[in-house]
Amino acid sequence: MLRQLTLRSAYAREVHSMRDGGCIALDWHRSGHEAAPDAPILLVLHGITGGSQEGYVKWVCHTAAERRWRPVVMNFRGCAGLSVTSPQAYNAIFTDDVREAVVSVQRCG
């Protein structure tokens, strides 16, 4: 019998408003593995209609945290409980939101 393993993950969410009124969320992974303030930050991007609650995303964050990295998940517009608040919706080739997330994460590094 195949058993599916799942993880419970805790996140600290930061919602960021974009210039056009849309919003994304950065979910900073919280675990028992404390990382140094200068540890590498891993920005995790989920797949279509996913988010930080997806099993594969939680495993990536868990693995990064075990290595004492600081994982953060970028949740795209309309995903992971975010409302669509602008005409621009999640689109894999729309990179403005990713660029904004990288700038925000760099400020934390």
Per-residue pLDDT of 60-96, as tens digits, reads 999 999 999 999 999 999 999 999 999 988 888 889 9
Hey, what amino acid is at 95?
Answer: T
Q: What is the percent of the chain with per-residue pLDDT over 90, rounded to a whole number?
A: 72
Q: Tell me what pLDDT residue 60 has.
A: 95
Q: Could you give the CA distance from residue 24 to residue 97 in angstroms, rounded to a whole number?
A: 7
Close Cβ partners of 22 (under 8 Å, ≥ 6 residues apart):
77, 84, 85, 86, 88, 97
What domains sit in the chain, N to C, each tagged with a CATH number? 19-108 (3.40.50.1820)
pTM score, two decimals?
0.89
Higher pLDDT, 68 or 7: 68
**Model pLDDT for residues 26-63, shown as the tens digit of each residue:** 999 998 777 888 999 999 999 987 999 999 999 999 99
Q: Could you give the CA distance from residue 44 to residue 61 in angstroms, rounded to a whole number?
A: 8
Q: Tell me what pLDDT residue 1 has.
A: 52
Tokens 């992971």 — which residue?
80
Taking a C-beta distance cutoff of 8 angstroms, is the pair 85, 21 a contact?
yes
Q: Tell me what pLDDT residue 33 has.
A: 75
Q: Could you give the CA distance from residue 65 to residue 74 in angstroms, rounded to a whole number?
A: 16
